[in-house]
Amino acid sequence: MTRTLSVPLAERSYDIHIGQDVWEKLPDFLAEGMKGDHLIVVADERVYRLYGERMLNLLKPSGMKVSVHEIPEGEQSKSFAQIERLCREMARLGIERGSVVGALGGGVVGDLAGLASSLYLRGIDVVQLPTSLLAMVDSSVGGKTGINIPEGKNLVGTFHQPGAVFADTTVLKTLDTRDWYSGMAEVVKIALTLDPELFRYLEGIEDLGPSGGADPVRFIEAACLRKADVVREDEREAGLRRVLNFGHTLAHALEASLGYGVMRHGEAVALGMQAALVLSKERTGLSADQYSRAMAVVDRIPVPEVSIPRDLTEFLVRDKKSVGGKVTAVLIRAIGRAEMVPLEDPGELTQALRTAIGD
């Protein structure tokens, strides 16, 4: 079963192809939908080892010249150093305005290659080829690109929509269980903030793990549909799109303070959602019943034991939603209904996390 959704953004509109073997559609898309004749595939070392050859073989019929750029695996590659390496490689390879970047990998590759494609020659086309669950349900859609700096996660980035997204679900079979769950955290986020029906589907699946029986095409499609709706309404996150940051203010602070890569992004988001639910019960009137149901689903995402840093304030106030140094929390009033709540004290979030994990 395959699905094609569209993200309608006038001249920046594009399609998301989801399902088994959708990569087979790539050569035709490149030949017909893209103007250039040179594609640079950016992949991390693990993904390239697993899928590089298949991708190169698939691309042969497109008639394009294909180059490859590998980056080290992991969150630490979202750095200025890797942006510089990639841009200099593009220059050496003769990448031109009409050339295309193919971001083959998880969210790290998507964010890094997306950013480089928006900067190089003031912007060239990028096609997102997500291989992790997280990238399929979230990061490959919507055009956010970014890298981290020691002062904070994703603080440097651009909006640069892809020309298309091809989420070939056959590749999910090689994903580590931890990375699977990390993607599931973003699915749960979409369900809790925007999609009660998706929430009920997840609630009915006791095991959210890779062999738990959930149908990936079903929930990738649901997540992408919701995200496409939000991006159509608010491409540059001036309002509605901020709800997709549920659990993320705290997650980004944890990732930056613990050191990038110590936790998977989705694991940090799961902890952030636990805290946001505790705070929602106190601040928005989320009912006890909905709180318990929501927490029960978030609890199905395993998170490693970490010692929560004493003070996350400096990272929390640098959150992109902060106004005048005041942190704004994304909370839920009910399952599927998010709202923004300004916090007097960012410490409320850290305290809510301590309550959630019984620290």
Ligand X SMILES: NC(=O)c1ccc[n+]([C@@H]2O[C@H](COP(=O)([O-])OP(=O)(O)OC[C@H]3O[C@@H](n4cnc5c(N)ncnc54)[C@H](O)[C@@H]3O)[C@@H](O)[C@H]2O)c1
The site for ligand X (CB under 6 A) is made up of 44, 46-47, 50, 73-75, 78, 105-109, 111, 131-132, 134-135, 138-139, 142, 144, 154, 171, 174-175, 179, 182, 264-265
Min separation Cβ 348 and ligand X, Å: 24
Min separation Cβ 119 and ligand X, Å: 15
Joined together, the tokens standing for residue 299 give 């609890």
CA 193 to chain centre: 15
Min separation Cβ 245 and ligand X, Å: 10
Name the residue nearer to ligand X (CB basis): 69 or 144. Answer: 144
Joined together, the tokens standing for residue 89 give 């490689």
Separation of alpha carbons 110 and 208, rounded Å: 24
Separation of alpha carbons 137 and 133, rounded Å: 6
**Contact between 77 and 112 (Cβ < 8 Å):** yes
Separation of alpha carbons 264 and 183, rounded Å: 9
Min separation Cβ 134 and ligand X, Å: 4
Separation of alpha carbons 304 and 123, rounded Å: 39
Name the residue nearer to ligand X (CB basis): 152 or 336. Answer: 152
Min separation Cβ 208 and ligand X, Å: 15
Separation of alpha carbons 356 and 103, rounded Å: 37
Joined together, the tokens standing for residue 296 give 């029960």
Question: Of 216, 270, 210, 281, which is closest to residue 246 (Cα–Cα)?
Answer: 270
Min separation Cβ 324 and ligand X, Å: 25
Name the residue nearer to ligand X (CB basis): 230 or 331. Answer: 230
Residue 127: CB atoms within 10 A of its CB come to 25
**Contact between 151 and 118 (Cβ < 8 Å):** no
Grouping H, G, I as helix, E, B as strand and the rest as coil, residue 86 is helix
Strand 38-44, strand 337-342: pairing:
unpaired
Name the residue nearer to ligand X (CB basis): 125 or 348. Answer: 125
**Contact between 92 and 102 (Cβ < 8 Å):** no
Min separation Cβ 173 and ligand X, Å: 8
Min separation Cβ 253 and ligand X, Å: 13
Residue 350: which residues within 8 A CB-CB, separation 6 or more? 250, 275, 308, 311, 312, 313, 316
Name the residue nearer to ligand X (CB basis): 170 or 292. Answer: 170
Min separation Cβ 358 and ligand X, Å: 27
Separation of alpha carbons 220 and 224, rounded Å: 6
Name the residue nearer to ligand X (CB basis): 267 or 348. Answer: 267
Name the residue nearer to ligand X (CB basis): 139 or 328. Answer: 139
Residue 138 DSSP one-character state: I
Name the residue nearer to ligand X (CB basis): 114 or 336. Answer: 114
Name the residue nearer to ligand X (CB basis): 67 or 140. Answer: 140
